[in-house]
Amino acid sequence: MRESIKKKKQEVERMLEISKEFNNIIISNIERIPANKMKEIRRKFKDVLKIRVMKSSLIKRILESKGIDVKEVEDVLKKPCALIFTNEDIFRVASFFEESKEYTYIKPGQIVEEDILIPKGPTNLLPLHIADLSRAGLKVGVEKGKVFVKEEKVIKKGEEITSEMADALQRLDIKPIAICLKVDLGIDGKNKKIYKNVVINKKKEIEKIKLAYAYGINLATNINYLTSKNIFTILKKAYLNAYKINKALEK
């Protein structure tokens, strides 16, 4: 047996042995994760995650050995990936990753993943940068000795960034590229379920809950459904209605 094949087989066997200690497997794209950030992530989550950067072919072998249909993961494995073992809930891990997110500048040739807003208003740039921003198609002027963006501009999702626009965004200190691991694919070993593109943003989810709560209380109040949260509002409304009726009857 060739030495390289032997080493690959040993690596697969070693990972399979390690995987026995964990319930869940996560595959995460590491294409844009710098080495220093990856080191930081390993250190931060060392107690809950076992992270191993591997070739896609080895990851496939490990998953096949655990009885997982690799057709489910082929799209994810087209890019460099990390194989992650954990006993934490997959959605909780997604939340961990979201909280550790950082942002960096976009480079020429990169495709915009989410709309980028360049707001109208003052900047900290000196007038000598007007030409640089104008080359990117921004409408700019000078106010109080600094560059002023006259019109907001939105770079749409899916657009390719030109070198001029990349330079302008960097000068404006706009960092639209998120650097963090994601749960591109999560395999729940206990429930035998596969989850794709799991993103948990605590702040957004809490805002959704607050909004749903407000809508619920508003609906309950409008249909006079009493709860401990709206009883005083409904009693006040009933009192005011009774007062109006009484006034009307007195005329």
Terminal CA-CA length for the chain: 105
Answer for the pair 12, 58: CB distance below 8 angstroms, yes or no: yes
* Per-residue pLDDT at 153: 94
Let me know: does 58 contact 11? Beta carbons within 8 Å: yes
In a domain, 94, yes or no: yes
Contact 1, 64 (CB under 8 A): no
Q: Both 195 and 80 in a single domain?
A: yes
Q: How far apart are CA 20 and CA 16, in angstroms?
A: 7
Dist. CA 147–CA 121, nearest whole Å: 9
Residue pair 188/194 in contact by the 8 Å Cβ criterion: yes
Q: What does the pLDDT read at residue 120?
A: 94
Say how far apart CA 175 and CA 116 lie, in whole Å.
Answer: 9
Do residues 20 and 79 share a domain?
A: yes
Q: Please spell the DSSP secondary structure of 95-162, one letter per residue.
A: HHHHHT-EEE---TTPBPSS-EEE-SEE-S--GGGHHHHHHTT--EEEETTEEEE-S-EEEPTTPBPP
| 195 DSSP β-pair partners | 186
161 and 190 assigned to the same domain: no
Same domain? For 86 and 190 the reply is yes
Verify that 86 and 146 share a domain, yes or no.
Answer: no
On whether both 155 and 231 belong to a single domain, the answer is: no
- Written as tens digits, the pLDDT of the chain (251 aa) is 577 677 777 877 888 788 888 889 999 998 888 888 888 888 999 899 999 888 888 888 888 877 777 787 788 888 889 999 999 999 999 988 888 888 999 999 999 988 999 999 999 999 999 999 999 999 999 998 999 999 999 999 999 999 999 999 999 999 999 888 899 989 888 887 888 888 877 777 788 888 888 888 888 888 888 888 888 888 888 888 887 888 777 76
The neighbouring-strand residues paired with 86 are 24, 49
Are the beta carbons of 198 and 84 closer than 8 angstroms?
A: no
Q: Do residues 42 and 92 share a domain?
A: yes
Domain that holds residue 123: 116-177
